[in-house]
Chain A
Amino acid sequence: MPPKRSNKAQELIQRLPIKINRQAMLSLEACVHCGLCTDQCHYVLANPGDPTYAPAYKADKLRKLFKAHLDWTGRVFPSWVGAKSVYTDEELEEIKDVVFGKCTNCRRCSLNCPMGVDMASFNRIARGLLVHVGVMPEGVAVVAKDQWEIGNQMGVLPEDYRDTLEWMEGELREEYNDPSIRIPVDKMDTDVVYTINPREVKYDPRTIAEAAAIFHFAGENWTMASKGWDMTNFGLFNGDDELGAAVAERVYDSALCLRGKKLVISECGHGFRSTRCEGPNWAKRDVPFEMESSVVTMLRYIKEGRIKVDKNKNSEPVTYHDSCNNARSCGMTEEPRELLNLVCSDFREMYPNRAENFCCTGGGGAMSMSEYAPRRLKSGKIKADQLRATGAKIVVTSCHNCVDGLFDLIRFYKLDMQVKLLVNLVSSALVVPVRPLRRRLLEGFRILVLDDEPDVRVYLGKIFQEQGAEVMEAPDTSQALRIIRAQKPDLLTLDLVLPKRTGEKLYWDLKKEERFASIPIIVVSGYAHIDSPKIDFHGFIAEKNLPEPEGFIEKPVDVEKLIQTVYSVLAVAKVKD
Chain B
Amino acid sequence: MGGDGVLRFAENELQIGALIFMVVVYALKIRWILNFPAGRDRQAPASDPGRSGPRGARRSLLQIAMPWAMGSTRQHPLLYAQFALFHIAVAASIAMSFLIPYAPGTIASRPAVIALRVTFAAAVFIGIARLFRRVRDPYMRAISTPDDYFSLALLIVWLALSFLAAPNQPHPRAWPLLAYFFLTAFFLAYVPFSKISHYLYYPFARWYLGRTLGYRGVYPLRGGVEIHP
Chain A: minimal CB distance from B211 (Å): 9
- Is B204 close to A, CB under 8 A? yes
Partner of A351, one of B201, B224, B227: B227
Question: Which one of B37-45, B112-120, B121-129, B175-183 is at the A interface?
Answer: B37-45
Q: Is the interface of A mostly helix, strand, loop or mixed?
A: helix
- Is A113 close to B, CB under 8 A? yes
For the complex, give the distance between the alpha carbons of A134 and B198 in Å: 34
- Is B169 close to A, CB under 8 A? no
Asked if A355 and B218 make an inter-chain contact with CB atoms under 8 angstroms apart, the answer reads yes
Chain B: minimal CB distance from A27 (Å): 5
Residue-wise interface mask of B (134-146) relative to A, using a CB-CB cutoff of 8 A (1 in contact, 0 not): 0001111111111
- Is A567 close to B, CB under 8 A? no
Asked if B225 and A356 make an inter-chain contact with CB atoms under 8 angstroms apart, the answer reads yes
Question: Which one of A37-45, A141-149, A466-474, A556-564 is at the B interface?
Answer: A37-45
Asked if B216 and A54 make an inter-chain contact with CB atoms under 8 angstroms apart, the answer reads no
- Is B195 close to A, CB under 8 A? yes
Residue-wise interface mask of B (45-82) relative to A, using a CB-CB cutoff of 8 A (1 in contact, 0 not): 01010010000000010011000001111011001000
- Is B228 close to A, CB under 8 A? yes
Chain B residue numbers with a CB within 8 Å of A352 are 71, 225-227
> What is the interface residue range for chain B against chain A?
35 or more
Asked if B142 and A51 make an inter-chain contact with CB atoms under 8 angstroms apart, the answer reads yes
Chain A: minimal CB distance from B182 (Å): 22
Asked if B43 and A277 make an inter-chain contact with CB atoms under 8 angstroms apart, the answer reads yes
Asked if B201 and A277 make an inter-chain contact with CB atoms under 8 angstroms apart, the answer reads no
- Is A193 close to B, CB under 8 A? no
For the complex, give the distance between the alpha carbons of A27 and B211 in Å: 14
Chain A residue numbers with a CB within 8 Å of B212 are 23
A337 nearest in chain B by CB position: B223
- Is A515 close to B, CB under 8 A? no
- Is A369 close to B, CB under 8 A? no
Chain A residue numbers with a CB within 8 Å of B202 are 30, 115-116
For the complex, give the distance between the alpha carbons of A332 and B46 in Å: 10
In this complex, the member of B36, B75, B137 whose beta carbon has the largest number of chain A beta carbons within 10 angstroms is B36
A73 nearest in chain B by CB position: B193
A109 nearest in chain B by CB position: B72
Asked if A330 and B43 make an inter-chain contact with CB atoms under 8 angstroms apart, the answer reads no
- Is B4 close to A, CB under 8 A? no
Number of interface residues of A (CB under 8 A): 72
Contacts known (A21-B37, A111-B70, A277-B43); A33 close to B222, Cβ less than 8 A: no
For the complex, give the distance between the alpha carbons of A116 and B63 in Å: 9
Question: Which one of A279-287, A399-407, A485-493 is at the B interface?
Answer: A279-287
- Is A318 close to B, CB under 8 A? no
Contacts known (A20-B36, A114-B64); A331 close to B79, Cβ less than 8 A: no
Asked if B39 and A116 make an inter-chain contact with CB atoms under 8 angstroms apart, the answer reads no
Partner of B143, one of A33, A110, A285: A33
Partner of B217, one of A54, A114, A331: A331
- Is A118 close to B, CB under 8 A? yes
Chain B residue numbers with a CB within 8 Å of A57 are 139, 142-143
Question: Which one of A78-86, A210-218, A519-527, A545-553 is at the B interface?
Answer: A78-86
Residue-wise interface mask of A (100-121) relative to B, using a CB-CB cutoff of 8 A (1 in contact, 0 not): 0000000000111111111000
Chain A residue numbers with a CB within 8 Å of B64 are 114
In this complex, the member of B48, B83, B143, B150 whose beta carbon has the largest number of chain A beta carbons within 10 angstroms is B143
Residue-wise interface mask of B (70-105) relative to A, using a CB-CB cutoff of 8 A (1 in contact, 0 not): 111101100100010000000000000000000000
Contacts known (A33-B195, A115-B198, A330-B218); A279 close to B43, Cβ less than 8 A: yes
- Is A535 close to B, CB under 8 A? no
User: Which residues 36-89 of A sit at the B interface, judged by CB distance below 8 A?
Assistant: 36-40, 44, 49, 51-52, 54, 56-57, 60, 72-73, 77, 79-82
For the complex, give the distance between the alpha carbons of A389 and B178 in Å: 61
Asked if B195 and A26 make an inter-chain contact with CB atoms under 8 angstroms apart, the answer reads no
For the complex, give the distance between the alpha carbons of A276 and B47 in Å: 12
- Is B209 close to A, CB under 8 A? yes
For the complex, give the distance between the alpha carbons of A79 and B212 in Å: 34
- Is A291 close to B, CB under 8 A? yes
- Is A315 close to B, CB under 8 A? no
Chain A: minimal CB distance from B192 (Å): 9
Chain B: minimal CB distance from A273 (Å): 9
- B residues at A contact (CB < 8 Å): 32-34, 36-44, 46, 48, 51, 60, 63-64, 70-73, 75-76, 79, 83, 133, 137-148, 150, 193-195, 197-198, 201-202, 204-210, 212-213, 216-219, 221-229
In the complex, the 8 A-B pairs of residues with the closest C-beta atoms, listed nearest first: A331-B217, A116-B206, A51-B142, A82-B145, A30-B205, A280-B42, A112-B72, A331-B218
6 A–B contacts, CB within 8 A, in A order = A22-B208, A23-B209, A25-B33, A30-B206, A79-B146, A284-B42
- A residues at B contact (CB < 8 Å): 20-27, 29-40, 44, 49, 51-52, 54, 56-57, 60, 72-73, 77, 79-82, 110-118, 276-281, 284-287, 290-291, 327-334, 337, 349, 351-356
